[in-house]
Structure 1
Amino acid sequence: MTQVRLGSAPGLATGRIATSGRPRGTAAAASGVAAAVVLVLLASAASIFIGSRPVQPAALLDPTHPLHAVLAARIPRTLLALAVGAALGLAGACLQGLTRNPLADPGILGINAGASLAMVLGMSVLGISDLSSYIWFAFAGAAVAGILVHAIASMGPGGATPLSLAIAGAALAALAASWTSAMLLADRQTMETFRFWAVGTVGGRGFDVLLTGLPFLLAGAVLALAGARLLDALALGDDLARGLGRRTGFDRAALGLAVVLLAGTATALAGPLAFVGLLVPHAVRAVTGPHHGRLLPLAAVAGAVLVTLADTLGRVVLPPAEVQVGIMTVLVGVPAFLALIRRGRMGAL
């Protein structure tokens, strides 16, 4: 009777490798979470203590310190930058997976422009001025823009291809921007209210602004993160996804709602911030690969860190003046995006 050595049995060897691989995967996930937490904490600390007037950390704990009020004002600004950046990074990753379009982001597909146009309509026609009211216009404008872009792109012979979506989004964004400009030129009062928001800023906002949008951001984040497996299935193609038992129409509607909640709320809170939703998913995908279970949470972290650091940098480049975060995200994002292309680090969808 032939004896089999336990150490050389193929099945046992395979089992030993699989068993030893699980702790390595757990350790890698834990180290990734720890790195993400450290990055967020470092970006938050930089945002609070660095500015046109650097402040010592001791001033935060001393109410009698002359610069205590400066730090107190930077805390809601930092939290808002983190929330908006996370929302845009998550929305961009969802949108690229949903449309299978590497150029998809809330700005390029016209979602930001639709939200802006709807908000200007609310301000100019209905006289709305508080965030709790016009945030609903931002949602409506983002949703209508997204539906229109998909409908227009679907009219072509090949359906809603990545190229047709990009072209339709660019056309709709240009049209919405022209209508927005026309209304602002005709209404100077609305223009005064709108012009600071249109550049993109997280400064001058209090906790009340963040708390107004937080429920919508949380709802969108939960929908997006819960849809990681849906995005993985949709990446295989609609036919194969349906063969796996997915209801692709329902899945797309749920993920589209997540994008509208995230992008619409972020736009209402801070204005249209370009390049965050486009750059962040590609940078993260080059590290994590296309699996959305890893991509989505890390895209949220990277987006939060990017916007927070861009806002911090905008406070120190031209002291004592500030460069708005909407300008800084473009100044930082364009070279970084070009570097990804040049080095071939664009992650495949």
Structure 2
Amino acid sequence: MAATRYSRRDHISNKIEFPGSPLSFGSPLYIDRSPIEDLAIATLNQVGSLVRIKAPQRMGKTSLINHVMGVARQAEMQTVFVDIRQADTKALGDLDKFLRWFCWVIGQQLNLDTKFDEYWFESAGSKLSCTTYMQECFLRQFECPLIVAIDTAHYLVDYPNIAKNFFSMLRSWYEQARVRDDWQKLRLIIAHVAELELPLPSNQSPFNVGLQLNLPYFTMPQVKDLAEPYELHKVGIDDFFTLQPLLSLVGGHPYLLQLAFYWLQSGYVSLTQLVQEASTDRGIYGEHLRCLCLALQQDDTLMAAFNQMLLTPEPIRLNAKTAYRLEDMGLIQSNDVQSSLGCELYRQYFCTHLEG
């Protein structure tokens, strides 16, 4: 969009966060997707529990974690948040270094000094040392439950040795927490994109136990709830029906809706202009769409499958691995049998930007 179209409006709200970052606990922009929040909170109140949050990119996984951990803190539980993306290449190159990094992150958030020399035994191996460290330095330090949320767990897929050992260790922690008193205080949250390809037997995987929560698109009542804090009536959008051209393009996609509502309430662009330019590089979705396009162009298999979807108005069956990868990117929605485009916006944009 050209900068000359900008005009400052008195009604621009400083309280509206620019979309793209996780929402903090208590944010007025956080929308409950009942009963997901209630299920997560109820599960974390159970001893030795595990909650798995699975959804494509930009669907609100981290915001959900922030919400349930905020509720947990109000209930006087200890909470820590581990973002796997923050592990650097040095830590990801060696299992022992990665597990020490993992424990260090937890210790920093709990304001506890590291004691690796006391509890990390080379002869016992990295996984057992990490398990001992978790028990002695963290779980036995508190009477209350400890929630450890592990976000962007799918980043470890590119490090199969780390992934195999780390995830099998988490599974063993989950099993210990079912029977051992100290470990019953541990509650785990693991957030990731769609199905993960891991070199793990089913009895060593943490991805087939505990409560799995899939984050869907917003329903229309939830879209109405999301629109409310943006006060769109101040820019001439007086009823929900007026938004139908936008909803026909993006459906209930959380990020795409938030981005549209942000720019609409700012007065930067009108609804008519936003819809007309939505599927072009100069529209508000231009950067998002270009990133997706570049990712597709780097993989011939994904490109071919996605082109097939663009040419077929009805849901189709895709190779499972291909469907998972396209779903990870947020481009499609899949069930156990068939896949369909995530929204009409993608059809309009990619029909003119991808070579078949």
Q: TM-score range by the shorter chain?
A: under 0.3
Higher relative contact order (CA 8 A, sep 6+): 1
TM-score normalised according to structure 1 size: 0.25
Higher helix share: 1
TM-score normalised according to structure 2 size: 0.24
